[in-house]
């Protein structure tokens, strides 16, 4: 092996550090045994370094590769999809370490490392992840630099400093490229995240589903309004409409449940003031998007269902930003089609007889559908119904009867479901709506942060002349829930976030903790709206603002201009140092002396020490020996001696050199042939 192909000990150490910092963010989504492979690989390579073990043979390597493929297959059930691919990549990364022998292996390993940074972004582009990746890139670059410092065995701060400096110098030009590089659509379909759990509200609802979300403090989405933020009681974020009750669970209509002529939402007349807002949703691995009614999307790729909820044709694998305009006062579906009416009245035959009886009785007493709605709500308020996060379980058969007449304790989904059953039993079209209600207003940047514990279910009833009207039976039972959110509603019960003692939301009452949390949330909103919002439209708009009309010439000029502007200072700072390291004054005087000697034929040989040079001259030209000895003695003291900074010494050297005229003194010597051929001395 050529000596310059070896990997210095220092570089090996950096590489092993990189290995672990790179795998850390992936730790949660890869099987545990992959982490074991990392430890094992590092151990093996260190033992190889110490000379105890040897590099793996070909058979062992092949065995390890096959074993990791098999391992991934058994862990994920397939090797296709983003997570198995990343896990495979990470395993290969660790295995490559074992056979890291030469510099070329190091390149493969480190470039793979850069690619692993990219895979981390496919799972999260949040600010902490980006900063962490920046650290990883710095470490990888440090390892790359360390590989090119042959013989460097000890930790050297300069290595990591150089890597960081280079990355900093690269940063401005990176920004230029980032803003200017055309954002084109995907070139081909890529593996998607198939092994990530779906989160948030699901597409069917059993009693207890929403209350389980009530225990999570994760952020569901954030919204920023252009104008004033509506009152919390007006923030009903619609996500799903459940029209079908099947086997005790409510679910929304599927595509094929709906006849073709009903698949498009009926036009809505927009009345009243509108609300404009932007929403950034956290990934849910599901399709629906949340909005206030009646919502019209202003971003591409967002569709409206016939129930007037928004959805995305693709599952939300990453955070998603969309803009919406809503008209809360607009009336939805003033004319109900016969098919729709039939769907919204359907109930499983024979279930919940007591509820049916109650509904019939109350509807008969009430003069109208509206009065009937009020009567049902009044019953929830009047009788001993309780709002609880952990209500008793309901029986499989006739659960609504059990809820209305026996347990009388439930979370929002119990009330919404019972209410809709009562409505339908009395012939009033009604349905359950699931989504979120309320949200926390961040005073720092006026965003509404909606957490999973804000998940909510309510009802919509169809009334003649009013269309679909929102009715929230929970408000009748626990008005605090609607006005103040779950935390206040659960104050007496004490169950709010009791399972997550580390949740920052739980410590909202400690002022500085809360302020930190909200400030961080505001930063993260800014970051996310920038990262996700920068798409083709934004890019086009930005360039239009900066360049006016965009021409190829202007574009190229901008790229090259920016490159020059960025690189010239870098080049200057790099190459300037050559002249900056100016010679010391004593060097200058001594060089003057050397020049004078060279003029009479005594060229100082490269690398010839001052004393040797002087001795050579003295031997050849004894007549100037005294002066030469004095000058080189002074110089040696100034340059290397303890009195180097003595200004008197420098003055003496200056005077001695100034008075030194070898040409005049030496002529006699040369005539006598002592000096000989000057060229001889040049060697």
Partner 1 sequence: MRGSKRNPSAQGISDRLGRRFARWVDRRIPPARSVTLDQRRIFIFPSKVGLFFALCLLVMLVTAINYQNNMSFALTFLLATLFVVGILHTYANLSGLTLRALRATPAFPGQQSEFSIELQRGGGREHFALHLKWPDSNGSVINLADQATAQVHLRLNVGKRGWFSPGRLLLESTYPLGLLRCWTWVDLDLYALVYPRPVASPEPPGLASDRPDGAAVEVLGSDDFYGFRDYRQGDSPRQIHWKGLARGQGVQTKQYGAYASRSVWLDWEMFPGLGVEQRLSHLCYWALEFDRQAEEYGLRLPGLAIEPGLGERHRDQVLQALALYGIEARRR
Q: Which of 58, 254, 578, 648 binds partner 1 (CB under 8 A)?
A: 578
Kindly tell me the burial class for residue 449, based on how many C-beta atoms sit within 10 Å of its own C-beta (0-12, 13-18, 19 or more). Answer: buried
**Site of tokens 């190091």:** 106
Q: Which of 47, 542, 564, 574 binds partner 1 (CB under 8 A)?
A: 574
Q: DSSP assignment of 130-152, as one string?
A: HHHHHHHHHHHHHHHHHHTSTT-
What is d(CA 364, CA 10) in angstroms, rounded to the nearest whole number? 87
Stretch that binds partner 1, among 35-43, 375-383, 603-611, 623-631 (CB under 8 A): 603-611
What x-and-dash track marks residues 153-172 binding partner 1 by CB under 8 A? -----x---x---xx-xxx-
What is d(CA 665, CA 635) in angstroms, rounded to the nearest whole number? 22
Selection from 467, 479, 385, 476 nearest residue 430 by Cα = 467
| Element of type H or E holding 469 | strand 467-471
What is d(CA 162, CA 483) in angstroms, rounded to the nearest whole number? 57
Q: Which of 173, 331, 354, 615 binds partner 1 (CB under 8 A)?
A: 173
Tokens of 627: 């002066």
Selection from 176, 171, 123 nearest residue 539 by Cα = 176
Strands (E), 226-332: 236-242, 244-246, 249-251, 275-281, 288-289, 295-297, 303-304, 310-311, 320-326
Tokens of 329: 């006062």
Interacting residues of 61 by C-beta distance below 8 A, sequence separation 6+: 95, 98, 99
Question: Cβ 338 to partner 1, closest distance in Å?
Answer: 43
Stretch that binds partner 1, among 138-146, 238-246, 378-386, 470-478 (CB under 8 A): 138-146
| Smaller CB separation from partner 1, 26 or 414 | 26
Question: Cβ 679 to partner 1, closest distance in Å?
Answer: 7
Angle formed by the axes of helices 82-98 and 9-23, nearest 10° = 160
Q: Does 190 bind partner 1 (CB under 8 A)?
A: yes
What x-and-dash track marks residues 496-535 binding partner 1 by CB under 8 A? -----------------------------------xx-xx
Q: Does 650 bind partner 1 (CB under 8 A)?
A: no
Respond yes or no: is residue 148 known to be catalytic: no
Choosing from 412, 451, 521, 586, which is the catalytic residue? 412
| Smaller CB separation from partner 1, 193 or 654 | 193
Q: Does 133 bind partner 1 (CB under 8 A)?
A: yes
Stretch that binds partner 1, among 48-56, 376-384, 454-462, 602-610 (CB under 8 A): 602-610
| Smaller CB separation from partner 1, 182 or 350 | 182
Question: Cβ 657 to partner 1, closest distance in Å?
Answer: 22
What is d(CA 208, CA 225) in angstroms, rounded to the nearest whole number? 32
β-pairing verdict for 320-326 and 275-281: antiparallel
Stretch that binds partner 1, among 13-21, 186-194, 396-404, 440-448 (CB under 8 A): 186-194
| Smaller CB separation from partner 1, 331 or 531 | 531
| Smaller CB separation from partner 1, 187 or 197 | 187
Q: Which of 55, 178, 405, 668 binds partner 1 (CB under 8 A)?
A: 178
What part of residues 288-347 is at the interface with partner 1 (CB under 8 A)? Answer: 318
| Smaller CB separation from partner 1, 133 or 291 | 133
Choosing from 356, 451, 456, 521, which is the catalytic residue? 456
Respond yes or no: is residue 18 known to be catalytic: no
| Size (the chain), residues | 683
Cis peptide before 294 (omega within 30 of 0): yes
- What count of other Cβ atoms lies within 10 Å of the Cβ of residue 261? 8
What x-and-dash track marks residues 84-123 binding partner 1 by CB under 8 A? -------------------xx--x---x--xx-xx--xx-
| Smaller CB separation from partner 1, 167 or 354 | 167
Choosing from 18, 472, 586, 594, which is the catalytic residue? 472
| Smaller CB separation from partner 1, 134 or 249 | 134
Respond yes or no: is residue 412 known to be catalytic: yes
135 vs 5, 31, 106, 149, 530, CA distance in Å?
27, 24, 19, 21, 21
Q: Does 577 bind partner 1 (CB under 8 A)?
A: yes
What part of residues 533-572 is at the interface with partner 1 (CB under 8 A)? Answer: 534-535, 563, 567, 570-571
Long-range contacts of 113-119, Cβ-Cβ distance < 8 Å, separation of 24 or more: 113/18, 113/19, 113/22, 113/140, 114/140, 115/89, 116/22, 116/23, 116/26, 116/86, 116/89, 116/90, 117/22, 119/26, 119/86, 119/89
Question: Cβ 620 to partner 1, closest distance in Å?
Answer: 16
What is d(CA 341, CA 327) in angstroms, rounded to the nearest whole number? 24
Question: Cβ 348 to partner 1, closest distance in Å?
Answer: 44
Question: Cβ 574 to partner 1, closest distance in Å?
Answer: 4
Q: State the distance between the two ends of the chain, measured CA to CA, in whole angstroms.
A: 37
Q: Which residues are catalytic?
A: 412, 456, 472
| Contacting residues toward partner 1, per CB under 8 A | 2-4, 103-104, 107, 111, 114-115, 117-118, 121-122, 125, 130, 133, 137, 141, 144-145, 147-152, 158, 162, 166-167, 169-171, 173-174, 177-178, 181, 183-190, 318, 531-532, 534-535, 563, 567, 570-571, 574-575, 577-581, 605-607, 679, 683
């Amino acid at each position: 092996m050529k000596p310059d192909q070896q990997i210095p000990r220092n570089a090996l150490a950096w590489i092993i550090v990189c290995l672990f910092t790179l795998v850390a963010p992936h730790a949660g989504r890869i099987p545990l045994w992959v982490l074991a492979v990392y430890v094992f690989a590092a151990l093996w390579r260190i033992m190889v370094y110490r000379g105890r073990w040897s590099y793996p043979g070909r058979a062992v390597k092949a065995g390890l590769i096959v074993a990791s493929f098999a391992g991934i297959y058994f862990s994920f059930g397939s090797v296709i999809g983003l997570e198995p691919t990343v896990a495979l990549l990470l395993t290969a990364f660790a295995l490559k370490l074992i056979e890291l022998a030469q510099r070329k292996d190091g390149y493969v390993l480190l470039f793979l490392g850069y690619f692993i940074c990219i895979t981390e972004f496919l799972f999260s582009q949040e600010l902490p992840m980006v900063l962490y990746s920046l650290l990883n890139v710095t470490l990888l670059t440090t390892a790359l630099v360390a590989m090119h410092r042959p013989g460097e065995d000890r930790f050297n701060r300069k290595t990591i400093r150089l890597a960081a400096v280079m990355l900093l110098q690269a940063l401005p030009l990176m920004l230029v490229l980032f803003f200017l590089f055309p954002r084109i659509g995907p070139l081909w379909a890529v593996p998607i995240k198939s092994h990530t759990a779906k989160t948030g509200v699901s597409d069917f609802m059993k009693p207890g589903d929403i209350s389980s979300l009530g225990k999570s403090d994760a952020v569901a989405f954030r919204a920023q309004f252009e104008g004033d933020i509506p009152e919390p009681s007006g923030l009903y974020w619609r996500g799903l409409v459940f029209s079908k009750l099947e086997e005790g669970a409510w679910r929304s209509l599927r595509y094929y449940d709906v006849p073709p002529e009903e698949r498009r939402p009926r036009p809505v007349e927009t009345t009243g003031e509108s609300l404009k807002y932007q929403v950034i949703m956290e990934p849910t691995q599901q399709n629906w998007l949340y909005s206030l009614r009646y919502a019209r999307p202003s971003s591409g790729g967002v569709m409206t269902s016939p129930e007037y909820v928004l959805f995305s044709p693709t599952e939300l694998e990453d955070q998603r930003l969309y803009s919406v305009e809503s008209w809360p006062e607009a009336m939805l579906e003033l004319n109900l089609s016969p098919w729709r009416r039939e769907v919204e009245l359907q109930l499983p035959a024979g279930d919940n007889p007591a509820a049916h009886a109650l509904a019939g009785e109350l509807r008969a007493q009430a003069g109208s559908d509206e009065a009937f709605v009020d009567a049902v709500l009044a019953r929830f308020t009047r009788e001993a119904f309780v709002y609880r996060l952990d209500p008793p379980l309901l029986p499989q058969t006739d659960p609504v009867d059990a809820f209305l007449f026996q347990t009388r304790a439930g979370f929002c989904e119990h009330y919404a479901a019972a209410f809709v059953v009562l409505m339908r039993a009395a012939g009033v079209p009604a349905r359950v709506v699931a989504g979120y209600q309320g949200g926390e207003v961040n005073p720092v940047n006026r965003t509404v942060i909606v957490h999973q514990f804000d998940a909510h279910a309510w009802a919509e009833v169809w009334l003649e002349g009013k269309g679909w009207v929102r009715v929230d039976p929970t408000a009748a039972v626990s008005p605090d829930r609607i006005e103040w959110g779950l935390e206040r509603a659960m104050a007496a019960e004490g169950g709010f976030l009791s399972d997550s003692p580390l949740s920052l939301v739980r410590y909202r009452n400690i002022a500085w903790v809360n302020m930190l949390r909200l400030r961080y949330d505001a930063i993260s909103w800014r970051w996310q709206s920038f990262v996700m919002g920068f798409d083709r439209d934004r890019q086009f708009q930005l360039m239009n603002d900066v360049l006016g009309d965009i021409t190829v010439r202007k574009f190229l000029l901008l790229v090259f201009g920016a490159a020059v502007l960025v690189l010239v200072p870098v080049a200057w700072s790099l190459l300037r140092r050559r002249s900056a390291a100016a010679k010391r004054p004593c060097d200058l005087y001594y060089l003057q002396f050397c020049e004078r000697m060279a003029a009479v034929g005594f060229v100082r040989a490269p690398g010839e020490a001052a004393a040797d040079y002087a001795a050579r001259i003295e031997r050849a030209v004894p007549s100037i020996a005294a002066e030469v000895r004095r000058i080189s003695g002074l110089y040696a003291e100034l340059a290397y001696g303890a009195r180097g900074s003595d200004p008197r010494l420098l003055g003496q050297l200056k005077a001695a050199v100034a008075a030194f005229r070898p040409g005049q003194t030496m002529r006699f010597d040369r005539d006598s042939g002592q000096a000989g051929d000057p060229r001889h001395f040049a060697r």
